[in-house]
Structure 1
Amino acid sequence: MFESTDSSAPRSLQPLLHDVVICVDAPAFAASPRDGQLRGAHVQGFYDHDRRLLHTLCLLLDGREPEPIGVQPLGPHQVRFTAVHRDPRDQTDDPTVIIERVRTAGEGETIALRNVGTAERRLRVELAAATDLADIADVKRGRRGPPVPCTAASDDGSLEWHSFSGRAEIRSTASRVDPEAAGGPEGGTLTWSPVVLSPGESWQVRLTIAGRAVPEPSRHPVRPREPAPWSEPAVETGDRRLRDLVRWGLRDLGKLRLADPLGDGPAEDQFIAAGCPWYLTLFGRDSIWSARMLLPLGTDLARGTLWALARRQGRVHDVFREEAPGRILHELRPAAAQHGHGLLLPSHYYGSVDATPLFVTLLAEAWNWGLPDDEVDALLPYAERAMEWVVERTGDDADGLLRYNPRPGGLRHQSWKDSVDAVRDAEGRRIEPPLALCEVQGYAYEAANGLAALLTHRNRHDSAQRLLNWAEALRKRFAELFWIPSAEGPASRYVAIAVGHGPTPVSGPASNMGQLLSTGILDEEDCCDVAAWLAHPQLNSGWGLRSRSATVPGFNPLSYHGGSVWTHDTAIALRGLCVSGRHQEALALMNGLLDAATHFEYRMPELYGGDARTDDSPAPLAYPAACRPQGWSAASGVAVLTALLGLRPDITRRTLTARPATPLPLTVRGLVLDGQPLTVVATGSGDCAFPELPSGWRRAEG
């Protein structure tokens, strides 16, 4: 989230993450430089529940830092740093002591020393530790707080820090030597001396790092106790890129899970946190999209996400929280926080225009994938209240559109493109709210139709018809207001990113129109025109879909929303292209996305550079401050897989549509439909079979 300021005073800058090693086990994570030494700079440290527990953990051997030689991820939650210690008195340049530090999010780290030389080594091992116990919002603003004084307990080798906002501690257990602990106003140290290592001998110390905010956040999401609420599919394909993107994405998602402590059902209500490090919490829009993308793996994640948001659905009108009855939460934090540049957000913040219709659609889609009827019935009132908010909001708008109009000091733009300059016109000028974004109208249309189908199935025909009438009126208004003629480009018109005052459409092609393709608000001719723009080099960088056309003033390949490529945005557009039968354009986007994934070792960043791909162009660059791992980016592999298979279930008819777009044979086992196993075999020539189809279901004809 970003806000601007007119002040000329110097300001701190957001820390960059492009060279940061992150391991995560939500709600905890650790952020390290590539040598593993935490020196108190930038985002470095151990964190839990948005609180930095330590920012310094620096290892010295005989007063010198080890020399780093490698870093190796051991999983989403764990990383190993390897270094060596050389003694100038040795008769060889070879290292004689190898140091391995295994850092584990939410736990601490293990430090192991191994003497690989031929002589005994006597070492003084020191660890310097310090913290500011800062809130993640302050860290994101580039601010570092004053040091918190450290107290030491020599009897158990521990260091502790306490402040008005947090507490932290380090406790050590070693194989042979107890440490000397010392505290002070700037931090503390743990010292082991001497550590005597015979040739071939090893020594190890285990550090447990713990702490929380003060006071502890009440009723805030916690680490899950239960396994991930989805199956892991077996993907058999000649395209290793797709298989690895799915596999590594699910590994990251497993560690981005959180559980709602307010749940009282037989199973935990789990959801996916938005992203690490900045948004490791419940975000309405992000968590919903992650759950939508994973629906073919089971409906339990969708159920947990829906309940976590339903319990926090808006009940009253509150200007500061931007809460309203029926509105779905945007962001949940342990406490109110100052995000800089005049942006002060409460712990429960409702400032998004898209989370509410997306909530309705998630319930409708989860129902079609087999969410049990008792869960659907229990969640239905929340979806109806959400839809009431959408309908009332459009009724209050002069143009009958779903707009956002933020309060002063809140988020200026309130859809997924929420940076301060997210909406620009073809001249490069910033366009200010109130605005009706194109994809938000599509979300609302899709939500109304999905809820109408659900109500019809429950014999509430009058309510369903009112929603269908409202949706049709919105579709007509959309067709009248959002199309902009284009004298140059791949099609004679494109969809405006937004409609402002007047109503005036905002000129300049942007990626937002790609998210309309699967909502139903476009007709066949509309889809053809949108597909042409998405495939054109103005928007298709060759590595994925640019957020903004490269031909308009203000395009910046490393701008947050002004030209970068967003992983989830590309995956959603790709799905829409497949749904609308534009397979050639879909495969072009898919190959760019999968090629980009190889350069990111299949841990897709939140967003990356939108530079044009050429025969000799370098690998794409991650946006320097992008979350990685990030929820909907990690889930995009499953979204691409589902899009290629063309899967769309219809619970009312018990039919499953499959229109494969994959040019290669593809077999996927371990999918889940209606709570039962599903296997899909695509031939690569547009046909497919279901060797395993749930009882009572059949393939849709045509």
Structure 2
Amino acid sequence: MADTPELPGPSRAARALQPLLHDVVICVAAPAFAASPRDGQLRGARADGFYDHDRRLLHTLCLLLDGREPEPVGVQPLGPDRVRFTSVHRYPGDPTDDPTVIIERERTAGAGETVLLRNVGTVVRRLRVALTAATDLADIADVKRGLTGPAVAPSAPRAGGPALVWRSPTGRVRVRAVECPDGPVTAAGPTHGTFTWPRVELAPGGSWLIRLTITGRATPDPPGHPVAASPHVPWSDPVVRGDRRLIGLVRQGLAELRALRLADRAGRGSARFDDQFIAAGCPWYLTLFGRDSLWSARMLLPLGTELARGTLWTLARRQGTVHDDFREEAPGRILHELRPAESRHGHGLLLPAHYYGSVDATPLFVSLLVDAWRWGLPAAEVEALLPYAERAMAWIVRTCGKDEDGLLRYYPRPGGLLHQSWKDSADAVRDAAGRRVEPPLALCEVQGYAYEAATGLADLLHSRRATARARRLRTWAAALRRRFADAFWIDAKEGPAPRYVAIAVGRDLDPVTGPASNMGQLLATGILDGDGCADVAAWLAAPELNSGWGLRSRSAAVPGFNPLSYHGGSVWTHDTAIAVQGLCAAGRPAEAALLADGLLDAAVHFSYRMPELYGGDARTGTSPAPLAYPAACRPQGWSAASGVAVLGALLGLCPDAPRRRLRLRPLPPGLLGPLTVSGLRLAGADLSVRIDHAGRTTVTGLPDGWEVDTGGGAGSDTGAGAGPHLPG
């Protein structure tokens, strides 16, 4: 959610601004992370610090050698959770400008850091080494608002070795110096503490190492809050051969998702049932977000159903049961956001620890269960989760029933989120003239989600012989589809197609004009007919929305377009990936390939670590690489999962576990080069798919009794059993 700047009044100071993140180095091991400037020195500025469970444990950790800061020379990521900062210490009296003392700081999220000094010169060096530490133990919501709290005074306990300890009513932290050759002098002042080694002697070729452990968290410990996940990763590890860009995006994305895992152990009573899910993103959203966690799990279904199961159970346990205006809770509604405590987010926004202000998480919950069922989620899990899905669907039907137009609208409370779908910034919905449009609103993609949830749940109920309930849902969905067709289409005066889908309709079914990316998320829901899919595909591929690097959130041809705004023209990684999925599902391969190619090219420029969103400037033959949105989270869950989503879409994977049939519709040979993927998971079996230069498809590892449908094309082949290793 973005903060919208406001101009200061004539007699008051400007408010603090949200810290920018474009040059911040983040390492994460959820629920912990560390955010650092590129020199590694934490100075108490911006978002600097070590964090755990939304609490900043340290905001200052500054290294001095002989009273001087080292000179930074490089930063090297060592994985999603670790980073190395290298700097040098030079001597003005030396006959050379070359450094003779090299400093390497390895920082690890959730653990601490090591400091290694190496003498690469030819003379003995004697150094005074000091590390200064301080903290405000601030809540992440305050940090996001650009606030720094008052310094918390440390203490230096005598027992337990060299340590500094900070305590406040909201948090605690302990920093210990371990594995150091000589004990430091430890001093605790009113604003900071210091470890000092007055005389460190380094012989030529010698080294000196210390390790700091940093432990702490918010207090009191929030009951039932998710915790760090076990080492077990709830998805398979695929091997991809083909487009190097796709290989890099999948590999890096999965590494980041491993670091973003959290676990909910409530209610299962065994470590074996460590229900895992993907946190939304770091640094601002390193927690359970219904919408984000559901989409991440949905995108990873080609790698198994275990993550989907964990995500569904985590949200099912927190499904709404009562009416609560402050939490915006209602029976059947799915949670939007979980925090350790109530928090203020600026601009009058006050959110409870359990907040339900999302209109889209509830239908997405239903659709994830349906999709997981089709991918082979065990029948016992489907049966156990089905009542939660039916309660979620009941909330959707009731909410639409209360609306005068029968649509799924949101009506935010004062002090809650103004917009309650994925475009949730205050200016997320604008018309073609650039004017903000206020709720209540019925967003186009939310109607698609509701339709898809109803038809999918009807299929699931029908398979369980609940034919009457299934029939009622299909009837309801058909009526929603008709209402959508009547209300959402807008005639275009000019453009790539004669009409487009409104981003939303307001009161009296007034459509919000101006093409936006939201309509791309309709393509796979079934709410559009074939002509509608063709019109939407034309808009998504046109330069007004397709920047050349991905799908813009708002057309560049209308007033209010801003390529570096949160939702007014930037490119969202996950939004582009969902559009690619939809285009493939709707039989629009050329448009899918166009968007996928731009996204994969952007991934190269971001070293495959895709930001939450990035600039929507037009790509030209000489344009530079796209810029990340300055305050974008990176890593971000659904951005990291987008590589697998694109992979599944390009392969055209469409499983149907109840009928034991796998449908494959890969992109045609002219649009997709040869591609081999092993390590996919279908109904618990390892699956491999190979597509050669001519588009011939080979599938091995199908579960027993399954068949593959490649559309009757010549040259397809299937195999059963484990299947041989497929060469690239």
With the length of structure 1 as denominator, give the TM-score of the two structures: 0.99
Question: Corresponding residue for 1:524?
Answer: 530
Q: 2:483 aligns with which of 477, 493, 497?
A: 477
1:94 offset after TM fit, Å?
A: 1.1
Paired positions, count:
701
1:263 offset after TM fit, Å?
A: 4.1
1:336 offset after TM fit, Å?
A: 0.3
Q: Does 1:675 align with 2:684?
A: yes
The SS at the match of 1:390 is: helix
Question: Corresponding residue for 2:28?
Answer: 24
Question: Corresponding residue for 2:187?
Answer: 182
Q: 1:584 aligns with which of 576, 582, 590?
A: 590
The SS at the match of 1:296 is: coil
CA spacing shift, 1:684–1:313, aligned 2, 3 Å? farther
1:3 offset after TM fit, Å?
A: 5.5
1:581 offset after TM fit, Å?
A: 1.0
Question: Corresponding residue for 2:256?
Answer: 252
Q: How many angstroms apart in 2 are the aligned matches of 1:78 and 1:653? A: 45
Q: 1:33 aligns with which of 23, 32, 37?
A: 37
Q: How many angstroms apart in 1 are the aligned matches of 2:419 and 2:491? A: 25
The SS at the match of 1:484 is: strand
Contact 1:86–1:95 (CA<8 Å) still a contact in 2?
yes
Greater displacement, 656-665 / 34-43: 656-665
1:486 offset after TM fit, Å?
A: 0.4
The SS at the match of 2:302 is: helix
Identity of aligned residues (%): 71
Q: Does 1:209 align with 2:214?
A: yes
Q: How many angstroms apart in 2 are the aligned matches of 1:476 and 1:384? A: 23
Question: Corresponding residue for 2:707?
Answer: 698
1:7 offset after TM fit, Å?
A: 7.5
Q: How many angstroms apart in 2 are the aligned matches of 1:685 and 1:528? A: 26
Q: 1:198 aligns with which of 199, 203, 207?
A: 203
Q: Does 1:595 align with 2:586?
A: no
Question: Corresponding residue for 1:147?
Answer: 151
Q: How many angstroms apart in 1 are the aligned matches of 2:286 and 2:534? A: 38
Question: Corresponding residue for 2:392?
Answer: 386
After superposing on structure 2, the runs of 4+ consecutive aligned residues of structure 1 that deviate more than 4 Å are: 3-7
Contact 2:8–2:15 (CA<8 Å) still a contact in 1?
no
Q: How many angstroms apart in 2 are the aligned matches of 1:619 and 1:359? A: 36
Question: Corresponding residue for 1:665?
Answer: 674
1:232 offset after TM fit, Å?
A: 0.9
1:214 offset after TM fit, Å?
A: 1.4
Question: Corresponding residue for 2:721?
Answer: none
Q: What CA deviation, in whole Å up to 9, does each residue of 1:124-151 have, x standing for no partner?
A: 0000100000000000000000000011
Q: How many angstroms apart in 2 are the aligned matches of 1:64 and 1:6? A: 39
Question: Corresponding residue for 1:369?
Answer: 375
CA spacing shift, 1:427–1:685, aligned 2, 3 Å? farther
The SS at the match of 1:99 is: strand
Question: Corresponding residue for 1:159?
Answer: 164
Q: How many angstroms apart in 2 are the aligned matches of 1:700 and 1:432? A: 47
Contact 1:153–1:181 (CA<8 Å) still a contact in 2?
no
The SS at the match of 2:451 is: helix
- What one-letter code is carried by the residue in structure 1 that aligns with 2:408? L
Q: What CA deviation, in whole Å up to 9, does each residue of 1:531-581 have, x standing for no partner?
A: 000000000000000000001101000010000000000000001001111
Q: 1:643 aligns with which of 636, 645, 649?
A: 649
Question: Corresponding residue for 1:81?
Answer: 85
- What one-letter code is carried by the residue in structure 2 that aligns with 1:663? L
Q: Does 1:500 align with 2:506?
A: yes
**Structure 1 portions without partners, runs of 5+:** none
Q: 1:53 aligns with which of 36, 53, 57?
A: 57
Contact 2:237–2:679 (CA<8 Å) still a contact in 1?
yes
1:683 offset after TM fit, Å?
A: 2.4
Q: 1:281 aligns with which of 269, 282, 287?
A: 287
Q: How many angstroms apart in 2 are the aligned matches of 1:290 and 1:219? A: 22
Q: How many angstroms apart in 1 are the aligned matches of 2:79 and 2:677? A: 24
Q: How does 1:44-443 map to 2 (within 5 A)?
A: 44-153=48-157, 156-237=161-242, 239-264=243-268, 266-443=272-449
Q: How many angstroms apart in 2 are the aligned matches of 1:311 and 1:300? A: 17
1:314 offset after TM fit, Å?
A: 0.2
Contact 1:274–1:281 (CA<8 Å) still a contact in 2?
yes
With the length of structure 2 as denominator, give the TM-score of the two structures: 0.95
1:87 offset after TM fit, Å?
A: 1.4
Contact 1:3–1:411 (CA<8 Å) still a contact in 2?
no
1:91 offset after TM fit, Å?
A: 2.1
Contact 2:118–2:208 (CA<8 Å) still a contact in 1?
yes
Contact 1:659–1:687 (CA<8 Å) still a contact in 2?
no
CA spacing shift, 1:505–1:685, aligned 2, 3 Å? farther
Q: What CA deviation, in whole Å up to 9, does each residue of 1:184-212 have, x standing for no partner?
A: 11110000121111000100000000111
Q: How many angstroms apart in 2 are the aligned matches of 1:269 and 1:335? A: 22
Q: Does 1:468 align with 2:488?
A: no
Q: Does 1:548 align with 2:554?
A: yes
- What one-letter code is carried by the residue in structure 1 that aligns with 2:214? I
Contact 1:412–1:418 (CA<8 Å) still a contact in 2?
yes
1:93 offset after TM fit, Å?
A: 1.2
Q: How many angstroms apart in 2 are the aligned matches of 1:158 and 1:480? A: 68
CA spacing shift, 1:684–1:357, aligned 2, 3 Å? farther
1:6 offset after TM fit, Å?
A: 8.9
Q: How many angstroms apart in 2 are the aligned matches of 1:626 and 1:599? A: 16
Q: How many angstroms apart in 2 are the aligned matches of 1:7 and 1:196? A: 54
